[in-house]
Amino acid sequence: MKSVALKTKFSAQTKPFTDVVGLELGAGYSQGVPAVRLRKKEGRTELLAFDFLSLPDKLPLRPDEADELKVWSLPRPFQAPHAALAITSPLSFLRHSSGIYNEAEDEESLQFSYRTLSRALAPEVPPILAGIPDFQAAWAARLFPESHYPTACSLQVSAAAAINTFLAAPLLDSLSGTAAVLFVFSGHTSLAAFKDSRLVLYREHPIGYGHLREAISSQMRIEPSLADSVLEDTFVDPTPMIEPVLRTLFRQVEISHDYLSRRRNCETNNFFVCGLPSGFKYWAAEFSRMLNFTLTHFLPFDYVEKTTRPDKDTKNFASLPTVAPFLITALGAARAVLEDV
């Protein structure tokens, strides 16, 4: 691919990585730490294992909290030679530069020392800035004991890791014009636009699938955990409850579409959404009504092969569609290393 992953390598890479486990740190899922192991063999990227691992996943939010040494030992199916780590932290950031990179531009750097990266990914587009607090990066690097698999080989901002799933998919090269992808998380949605396989726009909006769950829960007076079943069954039409939430988000997509068209000369007709645990048909219907464009479901795991003999200690691959939305960041972290996107 022509674009480059926003990642930090812990050591110089002397030869291509071929077996990597991607891990999302700080996700806060009750099921555990998202983990995806991939192997690249004869030009094919193969899924070897996926699961939520029961590991201490309390991300330090202050430098003094990072002093507590935690050593992880991964289950055997996830003991790849190398690990790609994605950090999900309220203190990390991914955004376009305003043009001059300094401490005044990044409020986070006024409070902590940051491990940062600035990279121009497309001509005449402001550089993308990525940053992780240095104490969180150091904490992550110490998770794995020496002389044991895996060895940490890269550190990524989780938002950039998720983007890698689209950059690494053959679908991107098959599209004409500009493509925009909504990466949906519980508390926010990232919009990434690509032209000629290069990232030309990145924005974040504070609306995610969790807000739809809250709207349904509040109006139907049910537990938020039951909202997904409402979005998937046909007994209740949730449109009146979720339409105001989606309309607010899609208005921001509309603004981005106009910006790409008028300021960047990027005609955007390809729209995708990724990361939805439920309710895609309602997202697609509202998107079509409001923007008059088709919204396509992007499923990143469709672009990796499934091993014909999964390890007996991992979940059966039949369960993958249910958990896949929560494993996208871990998948993207591993793909960035394997594909060197």
**DSSP codes of every residue in 104-156:** TT-THHHHS-EEEEEE--STTSPPEEEEEEHHHHHHHHTSS-TTSS-EEEEEE
Does 218 have pLDDT greater than 90? Answer: yes
Q: Is the same domain home to 124 and 200?
A: no
Q: Is the same domain home to 306 and 259?
A: no
Residues in the chain: 341
Residue whose tokens read 């201490």: 56
Mean pLDDT check: name the lowest of 96-100, 150-154, 161-165. Answer: 96-100
Closest CA to 179 of 170, 192, 161: 192
Domain total in the chain: 2
Q: Is the dihedral of CA 68, 73, 78, 84 positive or negative?
A: positive
CA count, 13 A, side-chain hemisphere, 150: 30
Q: Is the same domain home to 35 and 138?
A: yes
Q: Is the same domain home to 196 and 264?
A: yes
Q: Is the same domain home to 229 and 270?
A: yes
Range of the domain at 103: 1-169+300-341
Q: What is the mean pLDDT of residues 135-163?
A: 91
Q: Is the same domain home to 160 and 31?
A: yes
User: Residue 54's domain is classified under what CATH number?
Assistant: 3.30.420.40
pTM score, whole prediction: 0.91
Q: What is the DSSP letter of 23?
A: E
Does 2 have pLDDT greater than 60? Answer: no
| Sheet of strand 305-306, all strands in order from the earlier edge strand to the far edge | 7-9, 151-157, 82-87, 19-25, 33-41, 44-53, 305-306
Q: Is the same domain home to 158 and 218?
A: no
Q: Is the same domain home to 109 and 180?
A: no
Q: What is the mean pLDDT of residues 243-266?
A: 94
Q: Is the same domain home to 244 and 262?
A: yes
Q: Give pLDDT, residue 312.
A: 58
The pLDDT tens digits for 5-61 are 566 555 445 568 999 999 999 999 999 999 999 999 888 999 999 999 999 888 999
The pLDDT tens digits for 236-247 are 899 999 999 999
Q: Is the same domain home to 95 and 30?
A: yes
Q: Quick check: 25 and 88 in contact, CB under 8 A?
A: yes
Q: Is the same domain home to 281 and 194?
A: yes
Q: Is the same domain home to 184 and 291?
A: yes
In the chain, the percentage of residues whose pLDDT exceeds 90 is 68
